[in-house]
Structure 1
């Protein structure tokens, strides 16, 4: 690339990176706070908390990458125009390609990033996040052994933990087992910890006693112990084999699905919709860049409607992007909707290509532009009359002669 192209490329990458980090950071914090209850009830470490929430980062990046390149492109071109750099480029005889080439290179990078995340990284991270969260929620420490709470996990069986310490250490443990109508057993311990061995979950109690009461003869027996293993496996229940929806499968798996799989038998159109959605998402970075270049890719002053051009470019992209969302839903039932899924970004690309490579600014047809100009003049005249009427009204109220 030429020096000016490297300059524009670096400026765009810098703006896109800052925008991406800012948006991902905000959304990540919001999502992380939603999962905070899993950590607080589980007594896990801060590392575990960040490990869980960081698995959602690829999905967040995939969602905000197109928006970041849109804002970065607008920022870069606006900065070049404000600093008269576009004027210098145009005066030097350079074509629009000098501006388009680095921006399209950034779009290519974003497209490849969006594709790799959507096709492979995001599904894998979602599966791992779901497994991680499921394991933590299934952990009996979070379900049964909640600090300061008498938790009845089933009729007649109550757990209580006075305090939860570091490294999962529990203090002041009380277990009341009254499931047998003829007897009751109360376990108490100064401290304990949850452990797993050979697929079994056990609560290791230390320095406590077991009080057994027989209702038939009223006898009570007390057994003191230094260490006692209480089996918790019966409370966890069997672990179900997770069913993965299409959005949590890689594209390779979607292209060769198991016809006996639950979600495929329920609605095979979901697989088709996810596949085409992932491929079509790779086109939108190019659509954003081409449309922005078509509207504001040439040097112009603020009096020439520069801000208005940005507004119209954003409106066009919002309309196209908005039409793509219902098209994705239609694709589940109607395969012909695939034309709309790909047609919208391709139309935006072709629209921008025509204006960029013919070096023409986006403009309305002359008859329509004349109508817009006449209406704009009428609105300006109406505003001036309204302003004069308001000033005259205020003067009359103040008793000032006109």
Structure 2
């Protein structure tokens, strides 16, 4: 790698990493504040609070990862223009080094975001669900106070009449309103939390299960024993796609062995892969915006960082509503930015250059 290329890579990477680190720290603190009920209501330690907030970070980190790369590139290129180094690069035929440095940063960004989306996020989802189940099991088995309604997760409220020294719970009541279509109520004379080493199970005895539908239908089932997976009570929503807990290699291996490739699996893999295209697109946008020196002065100068944010917002909106898939916006950025770069690097006459 040439010295100029290495110098530019170092500038681009430092600006992007600093911004990414600051945003990660801020969002982690915000997640801690949002989940503070783990400490204040559910009786867990501050360490559990921090770990829970950490497991919720990968989806957020993926969402703004490519934005940090774009803003980092723009800031570094603007600094080069202010110091006139960008002018020297263009005059002294240093454009190949600029392209190589941008390609190295974009390539590293693609690798990083694909690792995040295909491996780290599924692992974090799996650990978060297990932690939530453990918190719910601890809440049910030891933290619940007799005669006090306690919210395990938004939409799920528990109440117990008493708890014996051996962990036996008397007069168990649970109200589940997470599903807007069906309200489910568990009522049991006694209950106990058990585990098979991997999952926590709530064993209900001598009770009823009541279902109230939104259209007014009501059903009730009596039971002598009914086992409820504690994880189902701990989740913020009634259903979590188990594929979100599996990395892409595991999903592809399973699909190849079974021969079943459904639309949901294809869409999930495409969404994870689209993050890499977003990094390439935003890097090309940054080059198109700030990679060429300009002597023009505007009365109202709009920060290029804000332009990158607006472009990223538009890309997300286009990808979300496009019937062509999640990569639509990224491909649009690549196409438009590529056209601008080609136009700005076209051979021009001396008079046109001076103008």
TM-score, normalisation: structure 1: 0.59
Candidates 286, 290, 297, aligned match of 2:291: 297
Alpha-carbon offset, residue 78 of structure 1? 0.8
Structure 2, unpaired ranges of 5+: 151-156, 173-191, 201-224, 233-238, 349-355
Verify the 8 A CA contact 1:73 1:292 in the aligned structure 2: yes
Say whether the 8 Å CA contact 2:74–2:289 is kept in structure 1.
no
- The structural deviation recorded for 1:341 is 6.1
Contact 1:296 1:306 in 2 (8 A): no
| 8 Å contact from structure 2 (residues 118, 248) kept in 1 | yes
Q: Does 1:347 find its partner at 2:335?
A: yes
Structure-2 separation of matches of 1:10 and 1:339: 29
Gaps of at least 5 residues in structure 1 are 162-169, 180-193, 202-233, 331-335, 361-402
Which of 246, 249, 252 is equivalent to 1:249? 246
Equivalent in 320, 323, 330 of residue 325 of structure 1: 320
How far 1:346 sits from its partner (Å)?
A: 3.9
Aligned residue in 2 for 1:122 = 121
Find the counterpart in structure 2 of residue 39 from structure 1: 39
Distance in 1 (CA, whole Å) between partners of 2:31 and 2:321 is 25
Residues 104-124 of structure 1 show CA distances to partners (whole Å, capped at 9, x for unaligned) of 211111110101111111111
Q: Please give the residue correspondences for 1:2-21 in structure 2 after superposition, counting only pairs within 5 Å.
A: 2-21=2-21
Residues in 2 aligned to 1:73 and 1:178: alpha-carbon distance in whole angstroms: 61
Which residue is 1:269 aligned to? Answer: 263
- More RCO (CA 8 Å, sep 6+): 2
CA contact (8 A) 1:28 1:57 kept: yes
- Matches of 1:274 and 1:65, distance apart in 2: 19
Equivalent residues in 2 for 1:273-288 (5 A)?
A: 273-288=267-282
Moved more, 116-125 or 343-352: 343-352
Larger Rg: 1
Within-5 A mapping of 1:178-217: none
CA gap 1:245/1:304 in 2 versus in 1, 3 angstroms: same
The answer to whether the 8 Å contact 2:113/2:276 transfers is yes
Change (3 A) 1:247 1:295: same
Q: 1:300 to 1:49 in 2, by over 3 A?
A: same
Alignment partner of 2:269: what SS?
helix
1:158 corresponds to 2:158:
no
Q: How many pairs align?
A: 289
CA 1:107–1:305: 2 relative to 1, 3 Å? farther
Partner of 1:69: 69
Q: Distance in 2 between matches of 1:120 and 1:350?
A: 30
Q: How does 1:213-224 map to 2 (within 5 A)?
A: none
1:145 aligned residue: 143
Three-state SS of the structure 1 residue aligned to 2:62 is helix
TM-score of the superposed pair, with normalisation by structure 2: 0.65
The corresponding residue for 1:81 is 81
The 3 A distance-change label for structure 1 pair 26 and 178 is: closer
